[in-house]
Structure 1
């Protein structure tokens, strides 16, 4: 279990190496205002390869746009929304597309592991290192007070960072091919997360974040 040490409010140290997570965790790691579970090899390589190839070819990808200070800016990634209900964030409403057989298969495995039921999933396609998502939280009211978010990744490994709103402490993971990261409790209310840009040459990555729209 991760143990967090605080010398001052604005100084954060970890008693574990966030990049040395070769063994799957079996229990949630409790942190300040939340908990997470990271399973680096939730899906084996053969399944991960199949899911990646199917999703990248058959998902209805779109590049959304947002208006910032009167200027239209394209999202630095492609997205797709599937499930049972629409979802609105950043001024954009996603109408739900019907579940595909592949998404239902992945969802079933995630639901067995989390012992939770998800009715929607947001897909993000990071085409290269220039694609990213900035600091944000999945804290919309329609997700409930303490939502569980299950994040599955296929393709290239990308760095995922968590940052506490008050203390600014950070936890980061290398989300690789077939990995599963589950966030729950108060985490979305007190932490933000991002996938930053990277100058490294990286191939495409697909991320699925399963959630429950109330």
Structure 2
């Protein structure tokens, strides 16, 4: 289904488990936007990757692009509020994030969207999660990555002013890394997974969102 995963020796033997969220490092992006990053939050991430790659009912989608219909360059699966997640560790991750961010977010994370980037040709263009409440309210999107690292890039939305950081930020995420985009980030910043050249291994991202945010 994609390139072979080059797993880490530690993850090959570690049972999947979550670390403490108290070690997250926050970057203030300005205008009410911020990101939290915690490398290696999930240990045993390679085992989680293998299970998800094998067991999730991945869907290939096609979308209208100008005057033609094109393949979406990644595989997708969405779990709504009442759907069972494919692995218990993902339920634990969602619950831990809901508890840790309860005071700031004011509600739990409820849905999980999974994306499978099979190789460097798979990508997602610049965008913000602004379908629904994210278009006009502060919210959070928490992304847990398993598999090989891929760069998640962040930049201020074109025409936006007042950002503390004006250049593009690049976070190589994989092997159990966590990033949380919060505050006004979905409205005032954009993020992307750019295409990559060379031997690029597969990565799966799990995006936890509150109700009404896509």
Instruction: Report the TM-score, using the length of structure 1 for normalisation.
Output: 0.76
The answer (yes or no) to whether the contact 1:25–1:37 under 8 Å persists in 2 is: no
Which residue is 1:128 aligned to? 119
Is 1:55 aligned to 2:69, yes or no?
no
Q: Relative to structure 1, is the Cα distance of residues 110 and 56 closer, same or farther in structure 2, using a 3 angstrom cutoff?
A: farther
Q: CA offsets per residue over residues 126-165 of structure 1, 9 Å max, x none?
A: 0001000010001122446111000000001111110101
Q: CA offsets per residue over residues 50-72 of structure 1, 9 Å max, x none?
A: 21111111111001110122311
Q: Relative to structure 1, is the Cα distance of residues 175 and 199 closer, same or farther in structure 2, using a 3 angstrom cutoff?
A: same
For residues 207 and 183 of structure 2, what CA distance do their matches in structure 1 show? Answer: 16
Is 1:156 aligned to 2:148, yes or no?
yes
The answer (yes or no) to whether the contact 1:136–1:193 under 8 Å persists in 2 is: yes
61, 82, 85: which one pairs with 1:99?
A: 85
Which residue is 1:89 aligned to? none
Cα offset for 1:100? 3.0
Q: 3-state SS of the aligned residue for 1:75?
A: strand
Q: CA offsets per residue over residues 162-206 of structure 1, 9 Å max, x none?
A: 010136631111112100000100111110000100002111100
Greater relative contact order structure (CA < 8 Å, 6+ sep): 2
Q: Relative to structure 1, is the Cα distance of residues 49 and 62 closer, same or farther in structure 2, using a 3 angstrom cutoff?
A: same
Unaligned runs of 5+ in 1: 1-23, 86-96
For residues 49 and 75 of structure 2, what CA distance do their matches in structure 1 show? Answer: 15
RMSD across aligned C-alpha pairs, in angstroms?
2.0
Task: Give the total of aligned pairs.
Answer: 178
Q: Relative to structure 1, is the Cα distance of residues 27 and 174 closer, same or farther in structure 2, using a 3 angstrom cutoff?
A: closer
For residues 119 and 26 of structure 1, what CA distance do their matches in structure 2 show? Answer: 21
Which residue is 2:183 aligned to? 185
For residues 113 and 53 of structure 1, what CA distance do their matches in structure 2 show? Answer: 27
Cα offset for 1:25? 4.5
Which residue is 1:16 aligned to? none
